[in-house]
Structure 1
């Protein structure tokens, strides 16, 4: 094992390679989030379409991550890591040269996502396999810190490159990093006997992937289709929007998946996931908290760039600068969290982290105003980053420490499934709340404004009910100026839309705070000390 050298110091070479891979995975999404406005312009599309691209990336990872973890068992974890990095490199190269939105979806959302489903579970397992004891806790803390560094560098680097050059260079640079990682992979020791001679549970893989895909698809499309009353829908079911039916179908498939793996195990065959793993309270609590952490993180990091770029009109680099306090706070807290966790225990640290995140998001709600209060906004984001960093320092260690060596890759798949399912639903749910609040508030403002005539109000209400997007007031005014709406009414409509934007952003952030607070329910099952592997004595 690469646990330590003769002097007892941790060996950094395997961690350097694995940390660089973790950095690459996190960098991707954070770059996309600050480049939303530029992507909208480059591909002549709207915010909702880019939201779908971001969500599809995390959805692909969530849907296939368990399968990726199982393939790590079949092939060997280092081999799965290498194959995944090659696929990821192909995807990031295609993304860098994407001429259309469809090619961007193929390169980034699909191919990179499929590469990541092999890389991430193997990465989690290889960290646990290359380190033991206190070195393992330190290693997971460093990986959490590297994730924080990716979030720190992503908005700033991506914002600067997007503003002054082109976002495409970021993905070209990622392709170079992939080559470096592949050249340094021999530094990582594979797990002896990691490859198992067993067949992949194809039915289980299909059920889990389809179930999660339908749940996220339904939530994502709710802003377009509507939840109950149909809007822009491909089909109506008994007069209702298909949203809840799609979500329910996904939930039913996931229930079938759970029944299937139990049946397969009872028949003496290898299931995609061991049912005992899903039943273990500490592991289930750790996975639940990873889900909540990423749901809130991606939800907030979707809403805040919209506020900074679309409402305030700042460019991608300025957006990255405004997000820097959160990123630095996450990096510092993640690096210090492993030290604190060894003394106070994971449960207490996670509970403090959740309280910190809730307080920070509520503080952010109060900063969403027509003009930016730089000090209050920065402090709120820094507090948010500290809470997220403390979570990052504990949860990977808890999840991997709750199982034995042979389950690490499988649990790595569960770990990143929880993270990416949370990321997918974070963007989708917060986006759905944002659009629903924007539509409702804008309609109310138009109806209550005496400056707007009944004829214009009726036309606007019809347009809003058909679907609304989050655009700048400048773009809205330019569109209205091309119509026959009188200038005074144009002013009234733009004023109403500006107020609706702020209220919808506050509603979206409040939803994120509620989701974070719900995480307290899972913390009761987290260990108070060093995690005990499943099946061993307490």
Structure 2
């Protein structure tokens, strides 16, 4: 027997309030995308190294990931609408700090405020969508957040690149300020239930998950700089010669497990946990989180790899990078917008498996056709296919989580989403960097040993322990400080060019393997369509659990 909810029976809510939520997602995503574009201008204006400016990017991500679960509880206690307006105003303040920043310390402080604000905005978006929309409208609203994220990435690169080149970086954050003001005004069109003063905030759980996220993010982000196993000279300390980066990852995993154990204990004792693990109660919901982590990590890895080659290897500008990424970002935006229409025809399982097949084929294709020029037609085609799969997946898995949980747990779903996406982004970027540099080091070391045109005296003058991605012009400049002949310089440049390309190809091939493995969790996504109750399931009121699911219209289902 199959029951369907018809679109005619739904009470249609006006879309105008959703404009504010759409712009709120754009606000956060535009801020994040504008930071890398602005690094060059900040370095020049403040007279600091790029690493000092990149600290601001890390600070933002850390604040979001570490505080998002606490932010969800604050929203439940105070009231989503009130706290949403307060943090949007705080985000506007952070944008004003960016525009008026006299030093890089102000930039870092501004991004700390923006990150703390985003930690509440992220779950608030889910809770406010759940409060204002139902059924297919809710699915469309959730899908629009994915398209807003993609659209802001496109606009930030294009607008930021243009303003940064011809005007300067501060005007980029004037746009962030304007967006924040617009979101605040649109918030008066939203409705939400009042806060629940009885909601407690589990301080121990907050400390455990916050410390776990900080340790994991710092560990993964510094795998390349501090060393994958042995500590490098850049490492702040070592433990018996071991790098602190993998040790921080291990500490983060232990703290994360401690958080889960404590949360289960607190739930069993009848107390309110920091986040309800019932939002991950079924294998389908856990599969959605795994799929979300993998696809965001893959996206972050690709977003790291393309600018790396265009700006560092080819020595081109951020504006060139934005043009190269435009086909990918536009594809993600269009797909995230349109994929909702396929929910009535195909189950999340079918869409998820097919989308991961697309990302796998795209990465596999890129690993064979990519060259040192990203503007070839085969490369652009590969980026477009990957964008189709990625855009569909980010929207799909988020929608599965939102519709599988009751409305009162929407904030918890938002906090899980925020933690997963920010941690996955950090892991994807860091692992891609460590992997590519590691492969490059092996390629260069092997090529130098086997190449008869590179004598031992020249090898002794170059530190092969510090191999990294550099342009051919930078390499020639380094070699001018040695006694290398013109023929030896040409040989070194040839080795550098070949080693970089082989590292890129092998790196993309490894990412394709990760994408292929992700088909397994995707195959555990719900196998029914919205409003449809399979014959093996019986509708029942009550909380979701390991053997229960919800259809995408919120009906609780039990086998």
Task: Assess same fold via TM > 0.5.
Answer: yes
Match of 2:550 among 521, 532, 536: 532
Q: CA distance change for structure 1 residues 193 and 35 in 2, over 3 Å: closer, same or farther? A: closer
Q: CA distance change for structure 1 residues 141 and 326 in 2, over 3 Å: closer, same or farther? A: same
Are 2:83 and 1:80 aligned? Answer: yes
- 1:69–1:122: 8 Å Cα contact kept in structure 2? yes
Match of 1:17 among 20, 39, 46: 20
Q: Deviations over 1:342-364 (max 9, x none)?
A: 21011111111111111122223
Are 2:118 and 1:116 aligned? Answer: yes
Q: Deviations over 1:140-172 (max 9, x none)?
A: 122222222222322222222223332332112
Deviation at 1:404, TM superposition (A): 0.5
Q: CA distance change for structure 1 residues 280 and 330 in 2, over 3 Å: closer, same or farther? A: same
CA distance in 2, matches of 1:21, 1:431: 30
CA distance in 1, matches of 2:84, 2:491: 56
Q: Deviations over 1:74-101 (max 9, x none)?
A: 1111122222212322323333344554
- 2:437–2:468: 8 Å Cα contact kept in structure 1? yes
The 5 Å alignment of 1:392-411 reads 392-411=394-413
Are 2:342 and 1:340 aligned? Answer: yes
Q: Deviations over 1:156-193 (max 9, x none)?
A: 22222223332332112101211121122111111x24
Q: CA distance change for structure 1 residues 311 and 480 in 2, over 3 Å: closer, same or farther? A: same
CA distance in 2, matches of 1:208, 1:107: 23
Q: CA distance change for structure 1 residues 379 and 46 in 2, over 3 Å: closer, same or farther? A: farther
CA RMSD of aligned residues (A): 2.7
- 1:35–1:167: 8 Å Cα contact kept in structure 2? yes
- 2:99–2:170: 8 Å Cα contact kept in structure 1? yes
TM-score (norm: length of structure 1): 0.91
Deviation at 1:210, TM superposition (A): 0.7
Higher mean alpha-carbon deviation, 246-255 vs 439-448, is at 439-448
The 5 Å alignment of 1:62-461 reads 62-108=65-111, 110-190=112-192, 192-232=193-233, 233-460=235-462
Deviation at 1:468, TM superposition (A): 4.1
Q: Deviations over 1:98-141 (max 9, x none)?
A: 45544433323x22211110111101111121100111112112
- 2:205–2:259: 8 Å Cα contact kept in structure 1? yes
CA distance in 2, matches of 1:74, 1:447: 64
Q: Deviations over 1:463-484 (max 9, x none)?
A: 232x344333323322332455
Q: CA distance change for structure 1 residues 515 and 6 in 2, over 3 Å: closer, same or farther? A: closer
CA distance in 2, matches of 1:328, 1:62: 27
Are 2:522 and 1:523 aligned? Answer: yes
CA distance in 2, matches of 1:518, 1:347: 15
- 2:144–2:336: 8 Å Cα contact kept in structure 1? yes
CA distance in 1, matches of 2:369, 2:40: 21
Q: Deviations over 1:14-72 (max 9, x none)?
A: 11000011112222333344556666666666776666654443233222211111211
Higher mean alpha-carbon deviation, 389-398 vs 402-411, is at 389-398
CA distance in 2, matches of 1:221, 1:133: 43
CA distance in 1, matches of 2:103, 2:513: 37
CA distance in 2, matches of 1:7, 1:341: 17
- Aligned partner of residue 73 in structure 1, secondary structure: helix
**Alignment-derived partner of residue 544 in structure 2:** none
Q: Deviations over 1:388-439 (max 9, x none)?
A: 1111331221111111111111111111111111111111111111222232
Deviation at 1:509, TM superposition (A): 2.8
Q: CA distance change for structure 1 residues 372 and 267 in 2, over 3 Å: closer, same or farther? A: closer
- Aligned partner of residue 459 in structure 1, secondary structure: coil
Q: CA distance change for structure 1 residues 339 and 7 in 2, over 3 Å: closer, same or farther? A: closer
Higher mean alpha-carbon deviation, 86-95 vs 404-413, is at 86-95
**Alignment-derived partner of residue 543 in structure 2:** none
Q: CA distance change for structure 1 residues 209 and 45 in 2, over 3 Å: closer, same or farther? A: same
Q: CA distance change for structure 1 residues 136 and 472 in 2, over 3 Å: closer, same or farther? A: same
**Structure 1 alignment gaps of length 5 or more:** none
Q: CA distance change for structure 1 residues 111 and 492 in 2, over 3 Å: closer, same or farther? A: farther
Deviation at 1:10, TM superposition (A): 4.6
Q: Deviations over 1:257-305 (max 9, x none)?
A: 1111122223332211223333332222222222112111111111111
- 1:442–1:500: 8 Å Cα contact kept in structure 2? yes
- 2:231–2:238: 8 Å Cα contact kept in structure 1? yes
- 1:72–1:195: 8 Å Cα contact kept in structure 2? no
**Alignment-derived partner of residue 479 in structure 2:** 480
Q: CA distance change for structure 1 residues 51 and 303 in 2, over 3 Å: closer, same or farther? A: farther
- Aligned partner of residue 199 in structure 1, secondary structure: coil
CA distance in 1, matches of 2:79, 2:225: 43
Q: Deviations over 1:208-243 (max 9, x none)?
A: 111122122212211122222222223332332233
Higher mean alpha-carbon deviation, 206-215 vs 521-530, is at 521-530
- Aligned partner of residue 286 in structure 1, secondary structure: helix
CA distance in 2, matches of 1:372, 1:299: 16
Are 2:527 and 1:509 aligned? Answer: no
Q: Deviations over 1:329-386 (max 9, x none)?
A: 1111111111102210111111111111111222233343233452122211111111
